[in-house]
Amino acid sequence: MSRQPLPAPLLAPSAPSARKAIIAGILVATALFTPMVAGAGPVMAHHHHMMGKTPEERAESVEQRITTLHTRLQITPGEEASWRAVAAVMRDNEARMRAMVLAREAEPAHHVDALEDLRTYEHFVQAHVDGLKQLRGVFEVLYNTMPDDQKLVADGVFAKFGDRHH
């Protein structure tokens, strides 16, 4: 599948609001169709890269994320107990998502209509949201014990999740 360049009027609309509307439309279309085009079914793009990997490779990936976060957040020996709870939720979330992906992959091949695809995608997204809620809960305990300078580091690590208009 080759990508065709967008016509010039779509790349450079005259009004900033029109440009934002076009970008939003592209992002929505990408979010809706990328998993299907990529052959991953409704699995979230976040987990798309895990498709085809062995369970050992998937486990290694979550362990790498845990190690990287531990380092970047500058976890102290006094914070290790709270950190272990965060790491355990990260592992549980990954295991839950992995089980969902494996169950989806194990289903017999059949035609998936748009409604079934959306329901499955919703199921994955809801599991992801539930996992984030659990993670936020245990991370909040850790974060609340951090000194202010370390909280600033944590804020920087997680800054990609929203605009910072302070």
- Give residue 105's pLDDT: 86
Question: Considering the entire predicted model, what is its pTM?
Answer: 0.64
Rounded Cα gap, residues 129 and 114, in angstroms: 22
Least confident residue range of 34-38, 101-105, 119-123, 146-150: 34-38
Tokens of 16: 């900033």
How much is the average pLDDT of 61-90? 95
Q: What is the pLDDT of residues 54-75, one digit of tens each?
A: 666 666 789 999 999 999 999 9
pLDDT level of residue 19 (50, 70, 90 thresholds): very low
**DSSP helix, strand, coil percent of the chain (3-state; round to 5):** 75, 0, 25
Roughly what angle, to the nearest 10 degrees, separates helices 55-72 and 80-106? 150
Q: Which two tokens stand for residue 53?
A: 């990997």
In contact, 43 and 35? CB cutoff 8 Å: yes
**104 in Cβ contact with 43 (< 8 Å):** yes
pLDDT score at 140: 97
81: amino acid identity, one letter: A
Average pLDDT rounded to a whole number, residues 140-152: 97
Two tokens at 140? 């909040």
Residues 6 or more apart in contact with residue 41 via CB below 8 angstroms: 35, 104, 112, 117, 120
**Other CB atoms within 10 A of residue 89 CB:** 19
pLDDT level of residue 165 (50, 70, 90 thresholds): low
